Structure 1
Amino acid sequence: MSEVNSPRRVGGWTRLVTARPRFALLAALVITALAVFAGSGVAERMGSGGWEAPDAESAYTTEVLEHEFPASQPNLLLLINGGDASVDDPAVAGEAARLTERLAGEEGITGVGSYWQAKTPALRSEDGHEAIIAARIEGDETAAGKILDRIAPAFQGEHGPVEVSVGGPVAVRHEMQTIIEEDLLRAELIALPVTLVLLVMVFGSAIAALLPLGVGIVAIIGTNAVLRGLTEFTDVSVFAQNLTTALGLGLAIDYALFIVRRFREELATGSDPRTAVGATLRTAGRTVLFSALTVAVSLAAMLVFPQYFLRSFAYAGIAVVLLAAAAALILLPAALMLLGPRVNSLDLRKLLRRRTRNTQSADEPLGSAGSDGPVRSDGSGRSDGPDGPGKGWGRLAALVMRRAPLFAGVTTAGLVLLGLPFLGVQFGTADDRQLPETAESRVVQEHIREGFPGSPGGGLELLATGQATPDQYAALRGDIAGLPGVLRVDGPVVSGTYAYFSVLPEGEMVGEEAQRLVEDLRAVPAPFDTSVSGAAAVLVDSKDAIADRLPWAVGIIVVVTLLLVFLLTGSVLIPLQAVALNALSLTAMFGAVVWVFQDGNLSGLLSFTSTGDIETTLPVLMFCVAFGLSMDYGVFLISRIKEEYDRSGDHEHAVIFGLRHTGGLITAAAVILAVVMVAIGTSRVTNTKMLGLGIALAVLMDAMVVRSLLVPSVMKLMGRATWWAPAPLRAFHRRFGVSEGESAPTPLSPGAPSASGEVQEAEARGISESMEKRDKIGSDA
């Protein structure tokens, strides 16, 4: 037996978490209360950006321009509407001048300029009734948001003959952050009661249903405290809070479902609570720990990217996964020790069964199994025979394996077909259209986009660094103006050894033409250093950064997943199968993202505005999260199949047994997680909506299609070669491997015939059936 599986080591762990269960729960309560205090106000310290690569050329250029030419980088726009009067009307112009002077006097405001100062055409609408005052709020996102909160109420609304609305990048980000906080609270209020109802339906017992919720709440509160601490040292995206809530509830429920179900099975065999907890930790506990590691690795891969938007999800994801696993493996066993058989209290389904039986026959004794087989030891009346719990999943697995080529081919083709729209993906950047149509900052940006000849703050800037003559600047301006896709060139504006040109591209500010123009501008020869910034340049640099780091992220996920699944199974082929099938399970999600959110199908039903592209970082984020969750369910299924195969040596029976005993559990967990993600998907911010609904779809497809149809059919086609590994790797697994079973008898060699034909096969099946009786008891998922 491997050292990992030694009874001494596992027994020590059991004693650690069950020796003083009351003390453990009290300590957890105190720590959770402290975490509530430590994590308070975390959202206020988070940013709503983070899509740009901080070490890119565009980031350097923006930093220099902000310092040397603050007026070139306006992030605050006041839209002045003169109503029926022209913006050149003396009354309108006079009030606008007073507002401009007042804004320039506000602390934290610099680079103030307006249409009325220089009569700049780009700052005046084409119909002549609107114009812009532009300025820059100094500081990072958090500081700028506080300044905006302070000054916005004084400028919004009517001022004599004009109406003022506040917009610009700072206003868009700040309003997005506020809406996300509000939507997250609403999502929690939706998800928690619905989740509780589903858990009661799964467990029957109201007491057992409350345990997963408790684990999830502890994980969420703890992660918020971790994120609050991280904001002291690095930028953290406000979007990460959505992942904290979703994974905190989803994974905690997954792990608690698995552990509570196994604990109830052990109790049903007559074990006392301490013995039941020990057996649970030796079996389900190992699988939960393994699952948490695979999910954490998938999320940790986002740390290789420079964008803090992606890194934030890694911080939140790693913290919430490890905290959920820790709560499930330490606090939950302590609670189960104290509850013992009372974990089955308030069994609402038993009340329903009693009513049904009393209606059918007043003389039938409660708990009788009738003709279905022997009564379960927990008195629920369910059979351990062929018609017992999970019979539908067992029959489905048997059917799929009888028609394995058909199910494997049709399912694979269907998933590939669903993913085809992703071949037409177009990458872009998030803008104000992420917000609801009624959001003030979005209204301002749409007025500018549709009614102004230019786009203040939305063009490209070329920064020239070094000594230069006016003739050299003039030559550079001429070269820029001659590039395809250039609508207008302004400048240069010179300050010491720096100068910049404003370049307005034709078409969309971040469209394909604008992105090509960025490359052309960077290739223009000059006798001094040049660099380019602007929305399109940020997008180009972000795409390059992701393309550069993506192979590393995928490589980390694949290599570590292969290693972990090998340690769990001892097979070379199962890890490869797990990676391939997990990736295939994500095709529907990626296809739907493009078909719905990029192409705009269902935009009316889902209440969002399609921009014709997908924010660059979103597919990476969704891949890492959904792949990790798929591995979560995959580990649950594979571990149970492996356990039964070790006991019986019968490959096909082990697959059927595994699906029968985990199919309902995985489906219940997936439905509950999907409910949480759909609640997140009700957000009014498009990226959050896409994240929630996309991952909900991926989770359901993985649980109901890949785990139910594709895995058993592929394992049937692979046969007993599924468990093959070369001798050196088998020795490595015996030394370091992990399994859910308490012991691992040597299975029949893959592909080898039985020593005594039908006799040995019957013996193996007999062992399997006797162990199956034990493991079916209490299976309520």
Structure 2
Amino acid sequence: MFERIVNRAITSPKRILLAVTFLAVVCGLVGSTAVDHLLAGGQLSQNSESARANQLLSQHFSQQEMDLTLLVRAQAGIDDPTVARTGTQLVERIRSSAGVSSVLAPWTASRSMARSLISSDGKSALVVAAISGGEEWAPKNAKAIANRVEGTDDGLTVTAGGMAMVQSEIADQSQRDLLVMEVIAVPLSFLALVAIFGGIYAALLPLVVGGIAIAATLAELRLLTSVTDVSIYAMNVTTALALALGIDYTLLLLSRYREEARLCGDRNQALRRAVAKAGRTVLFSSVTVILALSALTLFPLYFLRSMAYAGIGVVAVAAVSTVVVAPALIALLGDRIETLDLYAPLRRRLKGKRDGAAIAVSADITQNFWYRTARRAMRNAVPALAGGAAVLFVLAAPVLGIRFGMPTERILPSSSTARQVAEAVQSEFRVNPSDVTSIVLSDAGSVGTPELSAYANQLSLVPGVQSVNAPDGAHQDGARVGAPSYVTGKKDAVVWLTVIRSPTIEAFSAPARNQLRALHAVPAPHPAVAQFTGQEQLSTDSNAAVLDKLPTVGALIALSTLLLLFLLTGSVIIPIKSLLLNLLALSAALGVVVWIFQEGHLGAFGTSPTGTLVLNMLVFVAVLTFGLSMDYEVFIVARIREQWLASPQTRADNAEAVARGIATSGRVVTAAAMLMCIVFAAMSSAQVAFVRMFAVCLVVAVAADALLIRMVLVPAFMGLAGRWNWWAPKPLAALHRRFGLAEESPHGLAAAPSSDRDESG
């Protein structure tokens, strides 16, 4: 397959490039409208208790799972007749807007309920509108309404907030962050590529591959929106991952091409060898990443499935472009690929054949920095393994205290109006709509007022409950205290109660979770069935939906990784080693994220720590990190195996193969990691906290993997294991000989090694 591809690239590069250009333009046109069809939701479970409760609230009480909370300020006071008249007109404008199911405001609510909607100083009020459309369309509906009513008019100043506006502002801010990231990442990546490759033409190759991957994936996402829901956050992943993998894969191919060109002196033959060897590695590596990302489609939340769609598209197109488009460009450029070479004067001065670029291979490989590093790690294998593992375990320790929550207004920058509204509500009002838990009793037609009152009294005794509102009134400390102070109702055998949480209990904290469990433990009046919803219940349900699938997803990723690495190496030891080291690196990266973004160290990298992390984003970044770690593992193990198969396969040969494999791939892996870190570090400019968390996690993971795992722990382990690295039971060895994906040596797979026959490396 590779031979046919490269021969066509050599003989007909212009045809290939014209065809690819045409396809890229078509994809660009199709994908240009993707952003208009992507949705801002995907983080709530649609098959859960909270979803069923929200459905009952929508059917019987015109309530929705998302609200638009308007903060209305009036210097004359909310009770001023003129302000009341203007406020009533505002309510009517909102009520007549598309997507509004109901409106709660102090000028139209009962007197007892109005007090909860007016600030302590009497100069501010809350207007809470239930917005239809679910998490998919409610943010857009809320934004349209906010655009109509925000501002100052006739003595009222209106500012928009609430859950729907928070989601809308997160989506909008993410798109602005994406543009900033591109402005930072592309120029910096290009400059770094010029420094690494030594030439401008060569540096453009990865950007071409990345650009094609972006165009094709955006077209894929646009087409997918016609058959399924796709999250808008997939856009951010598409751009960053396309640039990173375009650089990663093209760097591997071009470095191998230059190496082969120096060895054989014939550029066409060098291109054939490079595509045959590096192309195999690229495609194999891409399959490992795709299989890891495809496991995300098993989750019930379309946020995670969207990340899988984007990631799979990017990886597949980047890999295919690397083995099809990049060879055609190299063939078309010919010797010109080395023109505009910044290192040419230096090489002429040194009169050597050694490439001055950072990915060159030293004439004497034993003097190579990576060769010496690998040898040093093997000579001190036990201390290297113990020391490296200790560092990673220390970094991973904070993971033990990880806590999960939902995205709130605090992940937005302080300039966000939705965040400003939330902070004002928290400090100025008796009731914060975000702190309300709704309890919906179905089949409650035969339940009388005394039973409902007794149930509300029991709920009000739960620690941390400020009040419980039932149809018969407000309840505090086990007794009815007056008329309802917040929304409640009874209709068609369905009863709606609202529980106001004390402002001293922080959302998603351990006391909040304990309170929710205690509320659940209060028995509902027979024969009614209680279903809960609200911020805390939504978070609990969404996290449970992810955590329920996590063991299955993890097992599938682990099994596919073990199988693919076995097919590549023919060993059972190397896949297990790779899996364990990758998990260790991933744990270390997640530990750093918890330490910074949950616990607030290092100023939380300019964000406002909430004491929790968004589970959906953590799962995605964990899977992606694992896949990228396997990327580097394949790069290095493929070169080590290549050296091993060409040797007599003694223990000393194993050590030499490890050192030479790392020496020939270490420069590429380090350069690729540096460039990938540049791309992901550019994402840390994002103003949305969980996107910044995503960037920091990937930077830490990639850096630790490339510098500590691959350059220290891998050689230390493989040096210590000796020929056992390549061992497999006879049935599996036979299976690999038949179905293995790597080239075989005349020696075949290693037999079970003797313990001390060969000299140690």
TM-score scaled to structure 1, two decimals?
0.89
Instruction: Work out which of the residue numbers 424, 448, 459 in structure 2 matches 1:480.
Output: 459
Are 2:462 and 1:460 equivalent residues in the alignment? Answer: no
Q: Indicate yes or no: 2:635 matched with 1:643.
A: no
Work out the CA distance in 2 between the residues paired with 1:379 and 1:408.
31
**CA positional deviation for 1:387:** 6.4
C-alpha displacement of 1:660:
0.6
Q: Distance in 2 between matches of 1:378 and 1:243?
A: 34
- Aligned-partner Cα distance in 2 for 1:215–1:149: 37
1:363 maps to none
Q: CA RMSD in A?
A: 2.5
The alignment status of 1:535 with 2:531, answered yes or no, reads no
Task: Give the alignment partner of residue 423 of structure 1, picking from 375, 400, 419.
Answer: 400
Within the alignment, does 1:312 sit opposite 2:289 as a pair?
no
**Contact conserved, 1:350 with 1:380, CA < 8 A, in 2?**
no
Alignment of 1:656 onto 2:667: no
Question: Which residues in structure 2 correspond to 1:52-67 (within 5 Å)?
Answer: 52-67=44-59
Could you say which residue in structure 2 is the equivalent of 1:773? none
1:689-729 deviation digits (Å, cap 9, x = unpaired): 00011111110010011111111111111111111111111
Report what 1:735 is aligned to. Answer: 738
CA contact (8 A) 2:106 2:127 kept: yes
Selected match of 1:266 from 260, 266, 280: 260
Specify every segment of 5 or more residues in structure 1 that has no aligned partner in the other structure, as ranges.
1-8, 358-366, 370-374, 766-781
Residues 65 and 134 in structure 2, CA contact (< 8 A), matched pair in contact too: no
Q: Whole-Å Cα distance in 2 between the matches of residues 347 and 430 of structure 1? A: 48
Instruction: Report the equivalent of 1:610.
Output: 609
Give the alignment of 1:16-35 within 5 angstroms: 18=10, 20-35=12-27
CA distance, structure 2, for counterparts of residue 48 and residue 632 of structure 1 = 31
Secondary structure at 2:508 match in 1: coil
Distance 1:473 1:442, change over 3 A: same
Deviation at residue 409 of structure 1 after TM alignment: 0.5
The residue that corresponds to 2:104 in the other structure is 113
CA distance in 2 between counterparts of 1:266 and 1:113 reads 73
Whether 1:521 and 2:519 are equivalent positions in the alignment is yes
Distance 2:26 2:40 in 1: 27
| Structure 1 residue 495 corresponds to structure 2 residue 491 | yes
Structure 1 residues 607 and 44, CA gap change in structure 2 (3 angstroms): farther
Percentage of identical aligned residues:
36
1:557 CA displacement? 0.7
Is 1:255 matched up with 2:249?
yes
| Residue pairs, 1:560-709, within 5 angstroms | 560-603=560-603, 606-648=605-647, 649=649, 650-709=653-712
Shift of 1:146: 4.1
Contact 1:71 1:112 in 2 (8 A): no
CA contact (8 A) 2:54 2:63 kept: no
Residues 1:105 and 1:640: Cα distance change in structure 2 (over 3 Å)? same
CA positional deviation for 1:747: 6.5
Q: 2:480 maps to what in 1?
A: none
Cα separation, partners in 2 of 1:53 and 1:421, compared to 1, 3 Å: same
Distance 1:151 1:539, change over 3 A: closer
1:268 and 1:378 in contact (8 A); partners too: no
Distance change (3 Å), C-alpha of 1:67 and 1:349 = farther
The one-letter code of the counterpart of 1:489 is V
Q: What secondary structure does 1:136 align onto?
A: strand
User: Secondary structure of the residue that 2:680 maps to in structure 1?
Assistant: helix
Are the aligned partners of 1:183 and 1:684 in contact in 2 as well (CA < 8 Å)? yes
Q: 1-side partners of 2:141 and 2:679: how far apart?
A: 35
Shift of 1:172: 1.1
Q: Output the amino acid matched with 2:457.
A: G
C-alpha displacement of 1:166: 0.9
Letter in 1 for 2:79: D
1:469 corresponds to:
447
What whole-Å deviation, never above 9, does each CA across 1:257-289 have from its counterpart, x for those lacking one?
A: 111111222222335444333212221111111
Number of the residue aligned with 2:333:
339
**Cα distance, 1:589 vs structure 2:** 1.3
- For residue 368 of structure 1, the aligned residue among 345, 351, 357 is 351
* 3-state secondary structure, aligned to 2:32: coil
Q: Out of 321, 328, 341, which is 2:315 matched to? A: 321
Does the 8 A contact of 2:733 with 2:749 survive in 1?
A: no
Give secondary structure in 2 for the equivalent of 1:53: coil
Distance 1:742 1:502, change over 3 A: same
Greater displacement, 105-114 / 286-295? 105-114
Structure 1 residue 68 corresponds to structure 2 residue 60: yes
The 3-state SS of whatever aligns with 1:115 is coil
Q: Which residue type is aligned with residue 111 of structure 1?
A: S
TM-score computed with the length of structure 2 as normaliser: 0.91
Cα distance 1:754–1:436, how it changes in 2: closer, same or farther (>3 A)? closer
Q: Structure 1, residues 333-383: CA drift from partner, whole Å, max 9, x if none?
A: 2222222332222111113555xx3xxxxxxxxx624xxxxx459999988
Contact 2:66–2:132, Cα closer than 8 Å, also in 1: no
Moved more, 676-685 or 377-386: 377-386
- Give the Cα separation in 1 of the matches to 2:730 and 2:744: 23
Whole-Å Cα distance in 2 between the matches of residues 486 and 747 of structure 1? Answer: 68
Please say if residues 607 and 689 of structure 2, whose CA atoms lie closer than 8 Å, have aligned partners that are also in contact.
yes
Match of 1:244?
238
Instruction: Give 2:119's aligned residue.
Output: 125
SS of aligned partner of 1:244 = helix
Residues 228-283 of structure 1, C-alpha deviations (whole Å, 9 max, x = no match) = 11222222222222211121111111111111111222222335444333212221
| 1:47 and 2:39 matched | yes
Displacement, 1:448? 0.8
Deviation string, structure 1 residues 195-245 (Cα, Å, up to 9, x no partner): 011111111121111111100110011111111112222222222222111
Structure-2 change in CA distance of 1:496 and 1:387 (3 Å): closer
Question: Secondary structure of 2:601's match?
Answer: coil
Q: Residue 111 of structure 1 aligns to a residue in which SS?
A: strand
What residue in structure 2 maps to residue 397 of structure 1?
374
- Show structure 2 runs of 5+ residues with no match: 472-488
How far did 1:744 drift? 5.5
| Deviation by residue 1:631-657 (Cα, 9 ceiling, x = unmatched) | 000110011001000001210000100
**Alignment correspondent of 1:512:** 510
Q: Secondary structure at the match of 1:165?
A: strand
Helix, strand or coil at the partner of 2:687: coil
Partner of 2:474: none
1:272-330 per-residue CA deviation (whole Å, 9 max, x = no partner) reads: 44433321222111111110011111111211211122111111111111111111111
Give 1:100's aligned residue. Answer: 91
Distance in 1, Cα, partners of 2:560 & 2:318: 21
Aligned in 2, Cα 1:73/1:614: closer, same or farther, shift over 3 Å? closer
The answer (yes or no) to whether the contact 2:146–2:160 under 8 Å persists in 1 is yes
